[in-house]
Structure 1
């Protein structure tokens, strides 16, 4: 299991293109997913102030990409990292892309949660002042659910240690499959629910049982990423 902080810099302005990938997702059939031509890997981004690669930052976004996307922050995580940095001028803001397969059978969500949880534990130990914003898109939202200890959210994985829950200032997810069970983070986690924001577009089959897959792909361009960044920034201690 890979745990740690890569030195790659989050790249903005990615051009998103469709991938010829047919994924079988339990409960809602076969769909194509987007990948990215400009693949920004796990790494350090900057907020209002620059952060040296590998250094402790005031805030770190830990984000899990969606099914079928190449390793990195993904089509939702990249703009979220940029928006969060812009919302926190004067703070150093880094990002880490959860290392997991993002496989079409959804069974990689548990191992992804383990990577997310172990990474947070590692950085929290080395950087006692760092606050975390966690989240994910599509299967990456399931990764986040499992890391928060929500039962029945997917395959087995390690949860964030209870004594570190307070270091997680905000949770932001997009297209969360938990919604297919008519469940929310707010109703499933007394610890993380009060600081969670969930976005599910109308018609999204992944979180809302709709039949418009275009709705599942609309998060990077419909304003919800900016709303998520504003929500998370508002919960950062001292902001």
Structure 2
């Protein structure tokens, strides 16, 4: 299975490079019309945006001719060290803090910029917690409560026009690993869409296990273009 994933990953890297070109850079000094804040998946190729994020931002740009669209890659480790639970927790928390910091800075400095939040796999967890109305820890983790990021300020909510989650871990997956629910806050639910390829064990409700080959196809199966159309209808 590892060999299959490596082959698929290499193939996707080549196809994505041909189809979408180089990864978009973070916003320049001037304020763009739209900024996509995207968190890549666990150890995903194509850092810092990841293959899925690169494909998505390029697709959004294609659906908004005449508008400036930039991508902001969330600065976080996207750790694959699943033998160290604290490493994974800290990875996700780093992503949430950076995402929220970027959102609040944009809302303050670029009031006319429409914000889109997105993520793939572990990055979808980051995006969901970023937009959460409150992350609730299990009793056994209460000693970490002080480290949990607060919800975004209410004033920034109207600036966030859409949220897109690719392969967000299912409720079953999240429960099996003892993590808090990844539901976005109620003010964002009408602006959020998610994608799960049938049979992708990370997001389809299967018990926790190693991701399968379907989990790495989101950058090339058409979902990023469909998600871009979703965004274009809301900015």
Q: Deviations over 1:163-222 (max 9, x none)?
A: 10110000001010144358774xx53111110010011111111134771111111111
Equivalent in the alignment of 1:137: 120
TM-score (norm 2): 0.74
Match of 2:162 in 1: 170
Q: Alpha carbons of 1:83 and 1:143: their partners in 2 closer, same or farther (altered >3 Å)?
A: same
> Over residues 42-64 of structure 1, what are the superposed CA-to-partner deviations in whole Å (9 max), with x where a residue is unaligned?
524xxxxxxxx321011100000
Matched residue, 1:27: none
Counterparts of 1:92 and 1:228 in 2: how far apart (Å)? 18
Q: C-alpha distance in 1, partners of 2:113/2:107?
A: 7
User: SS where residue 67 of structure 1 aligns?
Assistant: coil
User: Larger Cα Rg: Structure 1 or Structure 2?
Assistant: 2
Cα distance between partner residues in 1 of 2:203 and 2:29: 35
Pick from 202, 205, 227 the counterpart of residue 206 of structure 1: 202
Seen in structure 2, the aligned counterparts of structure 1 residues 41 and 130 have a Cα distance that, compared at 3 Å, is closer
Match runs of 1:1-239 below 5 Å:
40=23, 42-44=25-27, 53-69=28-44, 71-104=47-80, 105=82, 106-107=88-89, 108-149=91-132, 151-152=135-136, 156-180=148-172, 181=174, 185=183, 189-210=185-206, 213-236=212-235
| C-alpha distance after superposition, 1:71-117 (max 9, x if no partner) | 41101000111110111111111110000000023321121011000
Higher relative contact order (CA 8 A, sep 6+): 2
Cα distance between partner residues in 2 of 1:100 and 1:138: 14
Structure number with the higher helix fraction is 2
TM-score normalised by the chain length of structure 1: 0.73
- Comparing both structures, which one devotes a greater share of its residues to strand? 1
Supply the distance in 2 between the matched residues of 1:152 and 1:141 (Cα, whole angstroms): 17
SS for the counterpart of 2:111 is coil
Q: What is the total number of aligned residue pairs between the two structures?
A: 199
Give structure 2 stretches of 5+ with no counterpart.
83-87, 139-146, 176-180
Q: Which runs of 5+ in 1 are unaligned?
A: 1-16, 21-31, 45-52
Q: 1:165 to 1:153 in 2, by over 3 A?
A: farther
Q: Hey, what's the Cα distance between the residues in 1 that align with 2:137 and 2:198?
A: 21
